[in-house]
Structure 1
Amino acid sequence: MRYFLYPLRFSAPVHFGTAECGGGLEHTRFTLPADTFFSALLSELYHAKENAYADTLLQKVEAGHLRCSDLLPWREAATGEWCFYLPRPILPMMQAADTDSVSLSYRAACEETAAWKQQKRLAYIRASRMTEYLANVRAGRPFLSEDSFGQEVLRQRVNCREIEALPYFVASFTFAESAGLYLLLAAEQAEDADFFADILTFVGHSGLGGKRSSGYGKFQLADDCLELDGTGIYGADDAALYTLLTQEQASWQMALSSVLPAEEDLLAVCRGNYHLRRVGGFVTDAAVPGKKDSICLLESGSCFQQRIPGQMTNLGTYDGHPILRYGYGLYAGISG
């Protein structure tokens, strides 16, 4: 497989729903899981009557010719280097017992404790610093990173559709001018990468996520699609991405997309470290919303001893069409 990178720049705030918080409008995330992203692509293409593009995309994915990651954060540093981030690996956090800890001063002990607490909030790590992070984990040292991609805002709105106007709140995330999200695509041929770029350009006009009727979620490609080859066109991070994506024999394989394992892969899952995310809900663009079946996916950042292929599943039927959920894996090899 060949690996391609698409940097996306958002011209409007985004609202990406969080089912783990009840799916309310007052909560949002700023990254987008691969399963939700893929569903949004198909939905938008079919809604725009671009059935040929949608059918071709679905066929290429089901045939194994295309695999995509979550939408992950990137930002441009003050030096002009582009920084690409990966999920924090879900590995046992071995905070080693420090034999010299009894000699720490009270101030030093407080600083060390604060550093460990700060690391617990760390969700994404620069690709070029992944080796440093893993070395700190093995040594029982906290890893600190001060990275910002934008700002989350809670805005008040008023529902005027009822007899009585009622207020409600909408959370959104506004990316900094020099930040956005990027997508990794594994494709067999360069033509597949161009095909996917056309889809992203088309969907960018209507946007991703919720509240699109208010203009949310619109984006465009921040640069041309880049084929990763280890040369580091943008800086150290895209070179590191290529190395991690091609390390198929590493001791741990970290998922960069939400994975739905097949029954025969459950033993391999049990030997790994993972978080689960429940998905389901309703078909929201229907006049009478239809309930979808619920399933649990392995979150990106989950680590296994082998690359679990994953699968596509059917969550039900709406208007005579299957409701599909993307669950194929894309992985980065790491040495935990």
Structure 2
Amino acid sequence: MSVWKLVKLNFGRSPVHFGELGIGIEETSDRVRSDALFSAWVSVYARLFGKNAVEELLDRFPSQERSQQISPLRISSTFIYRQDNEHTIYYLPRPLKFPINYPNEELEFFKTYKNLNYLPLEVWQRWYQGEGFTENDTEELIAETKGKSNRHLRQLGTFDYKKAFEIGQIPKIAVDRVTRATNLYHTGFVQFKWEKNPSGLYFLIQLSPEVEKLADQLKAALHLLGEEGLGGERSSGAGRFQLEWLELPDAWQSIVDFSGGTYYTLMSLFWDTPITTEFLNNASYEIQERGGWIAENQLRRKMVRMFSEGSVFLTPPEGKLVDVTPQGFKKHRIYRSGVSLSLPIKAKNK
């Protein structure tokens, strides 16, 4: 039986820069996806415990060479949490299918609904594991579209996702090593709220019993990652965080234990091969291109296309590690994690 943990990353006053493929350094994402988190975590794990330890860990994961293995460790992407007095609001990605009872005629509030890319846990659970969409939800979304509602959805923080952080740009100077010429550029940073109603990022971990024995080592690697920083611009002090490694709260336990689902929605990125037409039957999904550079020598890793968070499938996706080692790189293999973490949901069929 697997063991679940919830990890909170508190960045305090430290700004963060999370780059995404296709956007310049002037822009930044507000969170880190599962593959990037996995890579950073494993890299620090290797430095702490050595090459043999990390190779032994990676050999437990399914890959193109070991396709029949069951993943011993699954992690979600990071998502935002926001403290509201004594209550913590956890935001989850909205599944790419409508909740049950969602009305066929929704033109009055469809734009407002589509802008809800992330839902508070209580709303997510009611819409996708509980009674579903209600007439009161319709009325409140119409009110929000026309102005501003002050009812249940708003009280739960449904429309307050962007209150958790601010995005800004910091000017920087680059100096040419040869000519000493200077060049002005700007870097985008996210600053999570750290005073009143502090916020940060969280992610879920699903551990097999055998890998749970490595929990102390995995936790130690995360602590070191927090000291060094997550994301880009770490030399400027960005991305440093304090770690909270928590037992799964009761509200979350009921979500992961839900047995009445007819679909599965991704909380992480997902890659697998082969993907059959049968697997994609009645699925709703988006594709995310993932690339990047190897930090030690600035070679570009192979590009890979993955299913993104919120994608919905009829059967639980499993996923594999994908080898993205660039041609000519011989030091060691480079993997990107397409191992998925998903949650069971109910959803409208059409």
The alignment's TM-score, normalised by the length of structure 1, stands at 0.82
1:165 corresponding residue in structure 2: 182
Query: For residues 32 and 257 of structure 1, what CA distance do their matches in structure 2 show?
Result: 10
Secondary structure of the equivalent of 2:172? strand
2:90 corresponding residue in structure 1: 84
Contact 1:7 / 1:181 at 8 angstroms: preserved in 2? yes
Secondary structure of the equivalent of 2:41? helix
- The question of 1:129 aligning with 2:146 is answered no
Structure-2 change in CA distance of 1:95 and 1:152 (3 Å) = farther
- 2:89 partner amino acid: C
- The question of 1:272 aligning with 2:294 is answered no
Query: For residues 68 and 138 of structure 1, what CA distance do their matches in structure 2 show?
Result: 35
Query: Quick one: which of 281, 290, 313 aligns to 2:299?
Result: 290
2:321 corresponding residue in structure 1: 312
1:183 corresponding residue in structure 2: 203
Contact 2:287 / 2:307 at 8 angstroms: preserved in 1? yes
Structure-2 change in CA distance of 1:96 and 1:219 (3 Å) = same
Secondary structure of the equivalent of 1:155? strand
1:322 corresponding residue in structure 2: 333
2:149 corresponding residue in structure 1: none
Larger mean Cα displacement after TM superposition, 321-330 or 46-55: 46-55
- 1:75 partner amino acid: R
Query: For residues 105 and 29 of structure 2, what CA distance do their matches in structure 1 show?
Result: 35
Deviations 1:96-128 (A, max 9, x none): 227xxxxxxxxxxxxx84x54333222211122
Contact 2:44 / 2:224 at 8 angstroms: preserved in 1? no
Aligned residues: 306
The offset of 1:131, in angstroms, is 3.6
Contact 1:151 / 1:174 at 8 angstroms: preserved in 2? yes
- The question of 1:145 aligning with 2:159 is answered yes
Query: For residues 37 and 278 of structure 1, what CA distance do their matches in structure 2 show?
Result: 16
2:144 corresponding residue in structure 1: none
Secondary structure of the equivalent of 2:334? strand
2:147 corresponding residue in structure 1: none
Secondary structure of the equivalent of 2:318? coil
2:17 corresponding residue in structure 1: 15
Larger mean Cα displacement after TM superposition, 192-201 or 175-184: 192-201
Structure-2 change in CA distance of 1:308 and 1:194 (3 Å) = same
Q: CA RMSD in A?
A: 2.6
- 1:168 partner amino acid: Y
Secondary structure of the equivalent of 1:216? coil
Listed as ranges, the matches of 1:54-93 within 5 Å are 54-62=54-62, 64-78=71-85, 80-92=86-98
The offset of 1:270, in angstroms, is 4.3
The alignment's TM-score, normalised by the length of structure 2, stands at 0.79
Query: For residues 259 and 60 of structure 2, what CA distance do their matches in structure 1 show?
Result: 23
Deviations 1:275-323 (A, max 9, x none): 100012332431xx32322111000111111101111110124343111
1:24 corresponding residue in structure 2: 24
Structure-2 change in CA distance of 1:173 and 1:131 (3 Å) = same
Larger mean Cα displacement after TM superposition, 38-47 or 207-216: 38-47
Contact 1:265 / 1:308 at 8 angstroms: preserved in 2? no
2:257 corresponding residue in structure 1: 246
The offset of 1:251, in angstroms, is 1.1
What are the ranges of 5 or more consecutive residues in structure 1 without an aligned counterpart? 99-111, 229-237
The offset of 1:84, in angstroms, is 1.6
Larger mean Cα displacement after TM superposition, 43-52 or 118-127: 43-52
1:156 corresponding residue in structure 2: 171
- 1:309 partner amino acid: E
More helix by share: 1
Contact 1:61 / 1:67 at 8 angstroms: preserved in 2? no
Structure-2 change in CA distance of 1:119 and 1:203 (3 Å) = same
Secondary structure of the equivalent of 1:130? helix
Contact 1:2 / 1:227 at 8 angstroms: preserved in 2? no
The offset of 1:27, in angstroms, is 1.1
The offset of 1:266, in angstroms, is 4.9
Identity of aligned residues (%): 24
Contact 2:303 / 2:324 at 8 angstroms: preserved in 1? yes
Query: For residues 168 and 285 of structure 2, what CA distance do their matches in structure 1 show?
Result: 30
The offset of 1:70, in angstroms, is 0.6
Query: For residues 44 and 197 of structure 1, what CA distance do their matches in structure 2 show?
Result: 11
Query: For residues 6 and 253 of structure 1, what CA distance do their matches in structure 2 show?
Result: 22
What are the ranges of 5 or more consecutive residues in structure 2 without an aligned counterpart? 63-69, 142-152
